[in-house]
Amino acid sequence: MVRIADEAKTEMLGLRMLIIDEVHNLLQGKIDQRSLVLNGLKFLSNELRIPVVAMGTNEARIAFQTDQQLGNRFEPLEMPRWRPGKEYAWFLKQLCGGLALNDGDDLLASRAVVERIHHLTDGLTGETFRLIAKLAVFAAQQDEQTLQVEWLGEVGWVHPNDRRS
């Protein structure tokens, strides 16, 4: 655990934003545990003087509404699902590039490939990242660096709806 006591340490570390994921899990805890965490978030946002981003499902909004001060400090923003198109193709290219997976044949310029990836992930950001990461691992196992469209059927991907049922 890293303890940051003042703004100088924040600056020294180059910390510009604190992102906390899975905030909806606060609702699983007891009320006193939830209060401790929420008070900790208030302390961090005051002490660090940097943006604090809390992410989670719709239940995260409920967790923050249990504390009026946090409800006022954190403005809920919904991240919609991606739609298949140029922006989603750009996002896919950025993910591939970040994971050292080349798009040598410019597959991600193909509407059919983008739509297939969108279908496999339901257009969800996290699912899209997981699929591209799985493709990057598969590529490394094949001693390849260039994305192959046939890999979409070979990486053992299970559609999000099938995982939930």
pLDDT one-digit tens code per residue, 118-165: 999 999 998 999 999 999 999 999 998 888 889 999 999 999 888 876
Task: Give the per-residue pLDDT at 146.
Answer: 87
Task: Give the per-residue pLDDT at 155.
Answer: 92
Q: Is pLDDT at 5 greater than 60 in this prediction?
A: no
Average pLDDT over every residue of 16-42: 85
The helix or strand, by DSSP H or E, that contains position 115, with its residue range, turns out to be helix 111-121
| Alpha-carbon span 75 to 96, nearest angstrom | 31
Count other Cβ atoms within 10 Å, centred on residue 53: 13
CATH class as words, domain 86-157: mainly alpha
Domain residue limits, the chain: 7-73, 86-157
Q: How confident is the model at residue 1 (pLDDT cuts 50, 70, 90)?
A: very low
Question: How is 131-161 classified by DSSP, letter by letter?
Answer: HHHHHHHHHHHTT--B--GGGGGTS----HH
